[in-house]
Structure 1
């Protein structure tokens, strides 16, 4: 293996991973360290849950450390999920232009070594999870069932993005449970909003691969919705905001909570209006912009919490 080992097309050119030692570079690419957007999309719902619990009056003394724990956990577990997904999908990935250069299908890492790396990442994730209360630990372990099933969803349904939503937004429940020690209806409202958020951004992402997916028999919402995608995105965006508004109602949020949703509404509207499903670069750019969208949604519970402090 040489220093010229190619990166995948959707990674930023000349990113930091490209300058790491050749021996570890394939493992960093396997865990998508060269594409941090996935970590953000996994972390942000955790922050939503924490902030909503704080807004609802749950103010544990360890809340300062919880975002740090969740950031570490999101980083390693997103990497573990990517490794697992690539192990399962290695034959499909070899047939798709965007994924053919991933470490396993390109022969940079053997399946056996990928499994070993996956176990290593999961052990780090377990150490992080054990920093929380018992209820949160059990809740976190339960999410593994969703993670294990996800790679197979694209083989049996045109809605694998819905299953990804169930998986990626589990952090909204974890964040709330970590702060509150339990779950409340508002946490489930937030979880529902997150599921529609994933349907929104991952449908956009999936439009990069529609031609290859159709040829190899992989299903996605992008294929299912086709030219009607933008109309469906309007519906998904509506449900995202509705979920946040319901969560606010259930915690008796301050009016500032609802006003703080306006920037996120504007961002979602911008994405829908500028989407070109036939332009893969446009799809990737809009997909990545959902880090900003998720952080804008975080403003609502943060602003509500601030009203309790002034």
Structure 2
């Protein structure tokens, strides 16, 4: 009997939760905050409960689907990395077919949510899915695959504008470009955790590509992100309270520098895990900036 069929039904459900990282919500929170902030920008304030619900649930579902695809694509690499060796697909506890089926079901559920919005958002969802499917394989060919992840993790921004305005204006692309640098910052911290293992197995990551300039690249990426989003806020003439939020986010970025400057696994992983608070700070700043304008 195979490992995937020997597990009791209740045990299988637990494995599926492990597969989609249910006990680690930081991943979908990193996706959620910029998407919700984009909704506020697009709607020039509160976007309504319908769109808010669609984007919250859709973000959770698509991040979970992405985990399924990622673990299937990386299963032969993950077994050589300390942190990922016991993932359900890598260990054989969940089969490739099961993981892909679960991922397809989750993606379909997310698509059904998008269907309740505007046609433009539905069309953009196909591009978002394509980038999600491409990213796991970018780590084999692209020197900085975190840039591809940055696009994938930022696609909620143009979709938010499409759902509200039926178009994707220049502001949406400006926000996406800025958010890409935030993803580059936190996923480089993540890659710094696994650098030794990735070097052995030939995986390409920004931590390896940047080399001794990895910490500088992380901090520069944080700075570019914060400046670009501050400029976007200024262009919409938001209440100056938004800049207090930017300053608080910058203070968090400086704390991350203290965590990663020695390049320890523990420090880098802690910095990565805490990034969702930086994202929440920026989201709260955007909300407050619209509310008090």
Same fold (TM over 0.5): yes
**Equivalent residue number for residue 51 of structure 1:** 40
Q: Which moved more, 1:39-48 or 1:254-263?
A: 254-263
In the alignment, structure 1 residue 227 sits paired with structure 2 residue 216: no
**Equivalent residue number for residue 41 of structure 1:** 30
**Equivalent residue number for residue 15 of structure 1:** none
Post-superposition offset of 1:65? 2.5
**3-state secondary structure, aligned to 1:176:** helix
Gaps of 5+ in 1: 6-19
Q: Which moved more, 1:109-118 or 1:247-256?
A: 247-256
* Cα shift readout 1:186-234 (whole Å, capped 9, x = no counterpart): 2222111110000000000111111110001001011112332221122
Indicate which of 4, 19, 31 corresponds to 1:30. Answer: 19
RMSD of aligned C-alpha atoms? 1.9
**Equivalent residue number for residue 63 of structure 2:** 78
Post-superposition offset of 1:247? 1.2
Post-superposition offset of 1:181? 2.5
In the alignment, structure 1 residue 64 sits paired with structure 2 residue 49: yes
Moved over 4 A (4+): none
In the alignment, structure 1 residue 129 sits paired with structure 2 residue 118: no
The answer to whether the Cα contact below 8 Å between 1:54 and 1:179 also exists between their aligned partners in 2 is yes
Indicate which of 59, 65, 79 corresponds to 1:94. Answer: 79
Higher helix share: 2
In the alignment, structure 1 residue 196 sits paired with structure 2 residue 178: no
Scaled by the length of structure 1, the TM-score of the pair is 0.87
Q: Distance in 1 between matches of 2:244 and 2:264?
A: 34
Q: Distance in 2 between matches of 1:283 and 1:21?
A: 35
Post-superposition offset of 1:277? 5.1
Post-superposition offset of 1:43? 1.2
Indicate which of 141, 154, 165 corresponds to 2:150. Answer: 165
* Cα shift readout 1:250-278 (whole Å, capped 9, x = no counterpart): 32333333333111111111111332453
* Cα shift readout 1:3-40 (whole Å, capped 9, x = no counterpart): xx9xxxxxxxxxxxxxx931211111111112111111
Q: Which moved more, 1:92-101 or 1:299-308?
A: 299-308
